Amino acid sequence: MTVTRRQFTKVAGVGAAGLAMAWQQACAQVAETGEISTQTLHTLLDAQGPRGIYERQEEFERLRRAVANSIRISNELRRFPLNDDEQPLTIFHRG
Protein backbone atom coordinates (compact mmCIF):
# COMPACT_ATOMS: atom_id res chain seq x y z
CA MET A 1 0.00 0.00 0.00
CA THR A 2 1.30 3.42 -0.94
CA VAL A 3 0.79 6.28 1.50
CA THR A 4 0.26 9.69 -0.04
CA ARG A 5 1.60 12.89 1.49
CA ARG A 6 -1.92 13.90 2.38
CA GLN A 7 -2.57 10.67 4.29
CA PHE A 8 0.78 10.90 6.06
CA THR A 9 0.13 14.51 7.10
CA LYS A 10 -3.30 13.59 8.40
CA VAL A 11 -1.93 10.75 10.54
CA ALA A 12 1.01 12.81 11.78
CA GLY A 13 -1.28 15.71 12.67
CA VAL A 14 -3.61 13.49 14.68
CA GLY A 15 -0.64 12.01 16.54
CA ALA A 16 0.82 15.43 17.35
CA ALA A 17 -2.56 16.70 18.54
CA GLY A 18 -2.97 13.68 20.81
CA LEU A 19 0.48 14.20 22.30
CA ALA A 20 -0.21 17.89 22.87
CA MET A 21 -3.48 17.04 24.62
CA ALA A 22 -1.72 14.51 26.87
CA TRP A 23 0.94 17.09 27.78
CA GLN A 24 -1.74 19.67 28.60
CA GLN A 25 -3.48 17.10 30.77
CA ALA A 26 -0.19 16.42 32.58
CA CYS A 27 0.30 20.15 33.19
CA ALA A 28 -3.25 20.47 34.54
CA GLN A 29 -2.75 17.49 36.85
CA VAL A 30 0.45 18.97 38.27
CA ALA A 31 -1.33 22.29 38.85
CA GLU A 32 -4.23 20.59 40.65
CA THR A 33 -2.66 17.69 42.56
CA GLY A 34 1.10 18.23 42.32
CA GLU A 35 1.69 14.96 40.45
CA ILE A 36 0.93 13.21 37.18
CA SER A 37 -1.38 10.21 36.96
CA THR A 38 0.02 6.89 35.89
CA GLN A 39 -2.31 6.73 32.91
CA THR A 40 -1.22 10.14 31.58
CA LEU A 41 2.44 9.29 31.89
CA HIS A 42 1.88 5.95 30.15
CA THR A 43 0.19 7.84 27.30
CA LEU A 44 3.18 10.17 26.98
CA LEU A 45 5.61 7.25 27.11
CA ASP A 46 3.70 5.26 24.50
CA ALA A 47 3.71 8.26 22.16
CA GLN A 48 7.51 8.41 22.18
CA GLY A 49 8.07 4.71 21.55
CA PRO A 50 9.02 1.71 23.69
CA ARG A 51 8.94 2.22 27.45
CA GLY A 52 12.36 0.65 27.95
CA ILE A 53 13.66 1.01 31.52
CA TYR A 54 10.40 2.66 32.57
CA GLU A 55 8.73 -0.75 32.62
CA ARG A 56 10.34 -1.12 36.07
CA GLN A 57 8.18 0.49 38.75
CA GLU A 58 11.02 2.32 40.54
CA GLU A 59 12.24 3.92 37.29
CA PHE A 60 8.68 4.81 36.34
CA GLU A 61 8.17 6.59 39.68
CA ARG A 62 11.43 8.50 39.20
CA LEU A 63 10.18 9.57 35.78
CA ARG A 64 6.83 10.71 37.24
CA ARG A 65 8.63 12.91 39.77
CA ALA A 66 11.02 14.26 37.13
CA VAL A 67 8.24 15.18 34.69
CA ALA A 68 6.20 16.86 37.43
CA ASN A 69 9.30 18.81 38.51
CA SER A 70 9.99 19.81 34.90
CA ILE A 71 6.45 21.16 34.54
CA ARG A 72 6.77 23.15 37.79
CA ILE A 73 10.10 24.64 36.66
CA SER A 74 8.62 25.54 33.28
CA ASN A 75 5.70 27.30 34.95
CA GLU A 76 8.05 29.23 37.26
CA LEU A 77 10.14 30.40 34.30
CA ARG A 78 7.02 31.54 32.43
CA ARG A 79 5.88 33.56 35.45
CA PHE A 80 9.24 35.32 35.79
CA PRO A 81 8.74 39.03 35.06
CA LEU A 82 10.74 40.43 32.16
CA ASN A 83 11.40 44.04 31.32
CA ASP A 84 10.57 44.78 27.67
CA ASP A 85 13.56 47.14 27.40
CA GLU A 86 16.05 44.55 28.65
CA GLN A 87 18.32 43.06 26.00
CA PRO A 88 18.84 39.28 25.87
CA LEU A 89 22.09 37.90 27.27
CA THR A 90 22.87 36.12 24.01
CA ILE A 91 22.51 37.69 20.59
CA PHE A 92 23.07 35.69 17.43
CA HIS A 93 24.46 37.47 14.38
CA ARG A 94 24.54 36.14 10.84
CA GLY A 95 27.76 36.13 8.98
Name the pTM for this structure. 0.70
CA 26 to CA 43: how far, in whole Å?
10
CB 54 within 8 A of CB 63: yes
One-character DSSP codes across 18-36: HHHHHHHHHHHHHHHHSS-
pLDDT by position in tens, the chain (length 95): 687 888 778 777 767 788 889 899 999 999 999 999 999 999 999 888 888 899 999 999 999 999 999 999 999 999 988 888 877 777 778 87
